[in-house]
A = this chain, B = another copy of it.
């Protein structure tokens, strides 16, 4: 391997042999299977080390920490003071004033009587305040979940059949809560990550359009509307319409509804199915909001813990005449702007709602349909995020397709189809990634020992007689054949070029393995096939910088011995230095 091989880096001589002797590719000590398995399990389900605070603590302290983990209010409540309360009070009153018209409107989207919206802004925020870990989220019914629930429920029971419809709504809410708690406890929260940001943007915009169009009916549908545009005529018309389309709102606090949930019969399964979907969508919104605001204020939000809190709140809600509540984007934004400090603002809102239910609900009798419709319309307009769509278009075209798929699916077909399309395209994107990983030809940046993609760095130059290919993904069964064939295609193209230009024949193929984070049995097979093909063509296969998992498997499978472990180098530069023809840089 050439004792005198040297190279110039930055104009100075570098003695390769020395470095090579010191730095062989690291083969980490063999781990025990059980340890390896535990490590994988940990990274999959417990990467955030939820129990790390419990380590090395006394039993009694662990109990306190456990209670604090379940009820974060026990933790932050100890430092609670008057100045914090003033912020929370103002924020709470502000979101309450927003909540009341929203609740009435959203209940309508879910085909429920208006008081159920108000109920859902009383109990759930109270539960969340004790269990939630976000300091900014404001809880209540939200437009998208209300619409989704309304659509799914009326597919099963006609909303005019009030008693059964409400019972199914509570059943769905119960199972939405159970779904959320289960995901949290089983630490499967990552499943909601499969609803990509792009898909959510499209889905929300589509839902907003659908809701908006539905509301235009109420907004414009006043039968005897004046054609005059002066304010007095319009007001008279509106006031007249009050006695047409007005909802009667029942006075009093949430009645119990645990006995109304279907625990047997055909509706059990239907309620379960609807609940699972609504619960997942509700989680998506709440977790996305929670993460955004946690990043702004720099505190930690435990996704799985949040799910347990949201789930518990919905289970309790389903037993107290509430339907699915979650973190509301509009309320949370207002809450944040109004200067909330802790979840106490939710408690304040909750008490305002209680007073409303006990005392002033009858006043809302005079809220005309048009007013409710305009509240809903103005709320949902905020869901259409044109800027985000433009950004998605700029960043990733496939994301944009997922976004538009979700949007048009919701607008032209149905909420469920929109969701399915979004998830489908997102999955297809993942599959594309694992099936067709990128590969690149590398060249040497002049004056350095750095090798980079020649398409990204046009001044990078190829090394005569050596082809350097980088594979940009783990090599798994889903792409192993493609990777092998793609490398051979690079080689064939290069050989044609070499022949045409009468350059040095390719004698070495260096595969830069840095991005190859893992390899499986199919991948090893493909490497073996690649090696065999190269042998026939009298080309040496050389590997550069295989990672920890890969080097393990190269040895375990005997492949390292097959090609010879002197063919495995720490860096591409080392490999090139060992094999390059002895010429000076131009």
A interface residues, Cβ below 8 angstroms from B: 9-10, 12-15, 18-19, 22-23, 26, 28, 33, 36-37, 43-44, 47-49, 190, 193-199, 291-292, 295-296, 298, 303, 391-392, 394-399, 426, 429-438, 440, 445-448, 450, 452-453, 455-458, 472-474, 476-482, 485-486, 489, 514-515, 517-522, 524-525, 528-529, 532-533, 536-537, 545, 547-549, 551, 553, 556-557, 570-571
Contact = CB atoms under 8 A, between A and B. Distances in A.
10 closest A-B pairs (Cβ-Cβ)?
A196-B477, A298-B536, A515-B515, A295-B529, A472-B517, A26-B456, A197-B522, A456-B548, A26-B457, A394-B556
B37 A397 contact: yes
A524 B396 CA distance: 10
Contact of A399 (B10, B482, B521): B521
A36 to B, nearest CB: 7
A134 B533 CA distance: 16
A391 to B, nearest CB: 6
A532 to B, nearest CB: 5
A28 B396 contact: no
A578 to B, nearest CB: 16
Given A391-B557, A489-B48, A437 B397 contact: no
A476 B433 contact: yes
Given A23-B450, A295-B532, A521-B392, A515 B472 contact: yes
A298 B488 CA distance: 11
Given A197-B520, A426-B478, 14 more contacts: A9-B9, A9-B14, A28-B455, A195-B477, A196-B520, A197-B522, A298-B536, A395-B520, A395-B557, A437-B517, A438-B517, A450-B570, A472-B515, A473-B474
A553 B198 contact: no
Contact of A435 (B190, B303, B452, B547): B190
Contact of A434 (B434, B533, B551): B434
B517 A514 contact: no
B556 A23 contact: no
A547 B141 CA distance: 43
Contacts of A478: 193-194, 196, 426, 430
A518 B477 contact: no
Task: Indicate the member of A196, A446, A545 with the most B CB atoms within 10 Å.
Answer: A196
B198 A36 contact: no
Contacts of A453: 26, 547-548
A307 B227 CA distance: 70
B10 A197 contact: no
B472 A47 contact: no
Contacts of A480: 193
A482 B198 contact: no
A392 B556 CA distance: 10
Given A43-B436, A397-B33, A456-B28, A521 B448 contact: no
Contact of A447 (B22, B48, B434, B529): B22
B198 A481 contact: no
A397 to B, nearest CB: 7
Nearest to A194: B478
Nearest to A471: B517
A295 B548 contact: no
Q: Which of A291, A434, A476, A520 has the most CB of B within 10 A?
A: A520
Contacts of A515: 472, 514-515, 517
Given A396-B521, A477-B194, A522-B198, A532 B298 contact: yes
A447 B14 CA distance: 11
A519 B198 CA distance: 13
A456 B303 CA distance: 31
A19 B524 contact: no
A202 to B, nearest CB: 11
Nearest to A535: B298
Nearest to A531: B295
A14 B11 CA distance: 9
Nearest to A9: B9
23 contacts: A10-B12, A10-B19, A12-B12, A12-B13, A33-B397, A193-B478, A193-B482, A194-B477, A197-B477, A197-B520, A198-B520, A391-B521, A391-B557, A395-B553, A426-B478, A430-B434, A433-B518, A450-B570, A453-B547, A453-B548, A472-B515, A472-B547, A514-B515
Contacts of A570: 445, 450, 452
A474 B433 contact: yes
Contacts of A430: 430-431, 434, 476, 478
Contacts of A517: 437-438, 472-473, 515
Contact of A291 (B28, B33, B489, B529): B529
Nearest to A197: B522
A296 to B, nearest CB: 7
